A and B are shown apart, each in its own frame.
Chain A
Amino acid sequence: MSYWISILTEACIFSIMAQGVNVIWGWAGDFDLALYGYVALGVYLTIAMTAGPALSPEEYILGWHLPYLVAVVLSVLIVLPIAALVGAVALRNLREIYFAITTLGVISVIYVIVQVDTPLFNGFNGIAGLVTPMAGPLGISYNGYKYFLLGFCAVVLLAVVLVMQRLSTSPYGRAMRSIRDDERAAAAFGRGIFRAKLVAYVIGAGLAALGGSLFAAYLGAFNPSAWAPQEILTLYAAVLVGGRGNVRGVVAGTFIVYIGFIELTRYLPNIASRPEFAPSLREVLIGLLIVLMLKFRPQGLFPDRHGLPRSPGGTGPLARALAGIGRGQRSEPEKSAAA
């Protein structure tokens, strides 16, 4: 039971991060690889703002005793300008693979700095000390806390989905998809591409940081061996499986991918001399899943149906999903690299 509570909590948190990927890649069309860096910054900042001063030989910045929710808001607010700076540079002229490589460079830099620059977040040993935030003031017992945290994460996810769903179905969502489909045509019809992409990038990074802040409450501690730049691939797999651009589909995709993989790899034999076997296999499987989805069903299990009328009665999302399997339609956005 407790196992499922923690898996569901993680799935809610990852769903929020996946919404970030969905804005940046699903709507704006930019294949960002730096997003997990914003997640990590969210985790680090939240812990550093709530866990109190570092005790020697630990070292980290801030070291405040802020209430958890204040730290969440501040963490997100700090990540936004960082993402805006990265976006302002990377989105000006770079697209597609050039943009992806640039953002890969960004997250590599973040990762190395966090690992090597000890005074920042205690370097390789990482930081700890965020224990059951909000439990004290709310009078929640230690045993009940995991249920509370699941509920809290679910409520935040719900709020995020409601907001994103509103944007998705709105004229804003329509304009963003026009930019994704053909940005030259979108510019010719008056849409400011750079600004729109930058705003989407900052929103996506903010969602990543928000997910990171919740992750901080769940983990309590964080260090460079707890994350790596390639974690982003799980989020891309989730968005692909769910349906790129489809807000609710992405939540479904995250739950399917996350819980599916955990369950699939849980029963693997533990090889004593090769403890890294199971986690590595998981990464291989996620890579395989991405390739298979791109090949056979690039639009995902629940394709984005922006602007399409509801299909006539009796065909739920599952039926539609099954009906579309194998058709594999896919739109290739035209190349528009550095002009």
Chain B
Amino acid sequence: MTAEAILEVRGLNKSFGGVKAVDDCSFGVPAGSVLGLIGPNGAGKSTTIDMVSGFGRPDSGSVRFEGTELVRQPPHRISRLGLIRTFQSPREWGSLTVLDNVMLGMRAFARESIPRNLFARRAVRRAEAADRVRVEEILHEFNLAALRHERAETLSGGQKRLVEFARVAAAQPRLVILDEPMGGVNPVLGERMSEAIKGFVTAGSTVVIVEHNMKFIEETCDDVVVMDLGHVIAQGPYSSLRDDERVVTAYLGSVDE
């Protein structure tokens, strides 16, 4: 698996005061797959993905993404390498329209330079118009076309999730980490999310999902990484782990004690 892993986490450690949040955490994400990252609350999942995406700095360990070391790199640089993450809440850009939220997903950074916007307006406008075509497709795909001129802060929770996914679709990341995408999402919308994730893979992305909804994990993920007490206790297909004693114990609490 090592050869084809798009992301490789090795020996990651992180303590907050006396609490070891992540303890020698290692796992790999096979390119082109959908990987579930599960574990009970406090297992260290969020801390791990924060460190992978540059929002936290590990005490030690390494994160390699397509051969590039990510540790000590700032979040925006990691993002520019093609690794996009989402957050537990949708974190829409509230004052901006749905259209602008998705346009920002296109990540045309050169076009955001001040000199270019003062002196090369026509070129900027042309490039915007070209991106707009693609963004309109995405808006239709996520049923957001009618909302394109609404400010994102006025949307419902489910609609904000759709905006978040549409942003990711626009970004076409090499790897996307979805942090609890099903939080506050109804079952119908859940189906659409599943579809969208398959769409990401078809478009060439690798997907990591942190989620507590086991049904969703079972249906969506190829492989599952189970974390508890800061380290990985199992990795494999969901079906093979369902009856794994360590996994059951971690999830149900220490019933034996």
Q: Counting CB contacts under 8 A, is B141 at the interface?
A: no
Residue B140, interface by CB 8 Å: no
Chain B residues whose C-beta falls within 8 Å of the C-beta of A193 in the assembled complex? 76
Bound-state CA distance A306–B94 (Å) is: 12
- Cβ-defined contact, B108 with A171, below 8 A: yes
Is B118 close to A, CB under 8 A?
A: yes
Interface residue from A170, A171, A190 paired with B76 (Cβ < 8 Å): A190
How close is B64's CB to chain A, nearest CB, in angstroms? 19
Are B87 and A184 neighbours in the complex by a CB distance under 8 Å?
A: yes
From A171, A194, A331, B117 is in contact (CB under 8 Å) with: A171
A194 to chain B, nearest CB (A): 8
The answer to whether A331 and B171 have CB atoms under 8 Å apart is no
Which residues on A sit within 8 Å (CB–CB) of B124? 170-171
B235 within 8 A of A: no
A176 to chain B, nearest CB (A): 9
Once the chains bind, are B114 and A189 in contact (CB under 8 Å)? no
User: What is the bound-complex CA distance between A170 and B108, given in angstroms?
Assistant: 12
Asked whether, in the complex, the Cβ of B107 is within 8 Å of the Cβ of A174, the reply is no
Nearest A residue to B151, CB-CB = A308
Residues on B with beta carbons closer than 8 Å to the beta carbon of A163: 118
Partner of A307, one of B84, B97, B107: B97
B81 → chain A closest CB, angstroms: 9
B111 within 8 A of A: yes
Please tell me the size bucket of the interface on B.
35 or more
Contact A174 B55 (CB under 8 A): no
Question: In the complex where A177-B96, A189-B107 touch, is A171 in contact with B80 (Cβ < 8 A)?
Answer: no
A182 CB to nearest B CB, Å:
5
Residues in B neighbouring A180, C-beta threshold 8 A? 95
Cβ–Cβ < 8 Å partners of A189 in chain B: 79, 84, 104-105, 107, 167, 171
A320 CB-CB contact with B under 8 Å: no
Asked if B121 CB lies within 8 Å of chain A CBs, one says: yes
> Interface SS of chain A: helix, strand, loop or mixed?
helix
Q: Which A residues lie within 8 Å of B54 (CB)?
A: 187
* Cβ-based interface call for B112 (8 A): yes
Asked if A190 contacts B96 (CB within 8 A), the reply is no
Near B by CB (< 8 A), chain A positions 167-207 give: 167, 170-172, 174-175, 177-178, 180-182, 184-194, 199
Q: Are A184 and B91 in contact (CB under 8 A)?
A: yes
What residues on A are CB-neighbors of B94 within 8 Å? Answer: 181-182, 331
Given the known interface contacts A188-B79, A192-B76, the answer about A167 and B114 at a Cβ–Cβ threshold of 8 Å is yes
Nearest neighbor of A309 in chain B, beta-carbon distance: B149
**Interface contact A171-B111, CB-CB below 8 Å:** yes
Contacts of A309 on B, CB cut-off 8 Å? 149
Q: Which residues of A contact B167 (CB under 8 A)?
A: 189
A266 on the B face (CB < 8 A): no
Select from chain B the residue with minimum beta-carbon distance to A332. Answer: B94
Interfacial residues of chain B within 111-151, with CB under 8 A of chain A in the complex? 111-114, 117-118, 121, 124, 128, 149, 151
B153 at the interface (CB under 8 A from A): yes
How far does the alpha carbon of A30 sit from the alpha carbon of B82 in the complex, in Å? 29
Given the complex of chains A and B, what is the CA–CA distance between A306 and B171 in angstroms? 22
B163-206: contact bitstring with A at CB < 8 Å (1 yes, 0 no)? 00001000100000000000000000000000000000000000
Q: Which of B92, B112, B153 contacts A172 (CB 8 A)?
A: B112
* Chain A residue at smallest Cβ distance from B167: A189
Considering the chains assembled together, what is the distance between the CA atoms of A178 and B84 in angstroms?
16
A329 is an interface residue with CB less than 8 A from chain B: yes
Q: Taking the complex as formed, is B109 at the interface, i.e. its CB lies under 8 A from any CB of chain A?
A: yes
- The chain A residue sitting closest to B117, CB to CB, is A170
Complex partner residue of B104 from A167, A174, A329, CB under 8 angstroms: A174
Contact pick for B118, options A166, A190, A191, A307, CB 8 Å: A166
* A187–B76 touching, CB < 8 Å: yes
Residue of A nearest to B171 (CB): A189
Pair A307/B99 contact, Cβ less than 8 Å? yes
Cross-interface CB contact of B100 among A184, A199, A245, A307, cutoff 8 Å: A307
* Residue of A178, A190, A334 touching B109 (CB-CB under 8 A): A190
A10 CB within 8 Å of chain B? no
For B171, the chain A residues whose CB sits under 8 A away are: 189
Add 20 more A-B contacts to A171-B124, A182-B92, A190-B80 (CB < 8 A). Answer: A166-B117, A170-B117, A170-B124, A171-B108, A178-B93, A178-B100, A181-B93, A184-B75, A187-B74, A187-B76, A187-B79, A188-B75, A189-B79, A189-B107, A190-B107, A190-B109, A192-B76, A306-B95, A307-B96, A331-B95
Can you list 15 contacts pairing A with B, beta carbon distance less than 8 Å?
A166-B121, A170-B112, A175-B104, A175-B112, A182-B91, A182-B94, A186-B93, A187-B74, A188-B53, A191-B109, A192-B74, A192-B77, A193-B76, A307-B149, A329-B153
10 smallest beta-carbon distances between A and B, as pairs: A170-B117, A185-B91, A190-B79, A181-B93, A187-B75, A331-B94, A307-B100, A178-B93, A175-B112, A307-B97
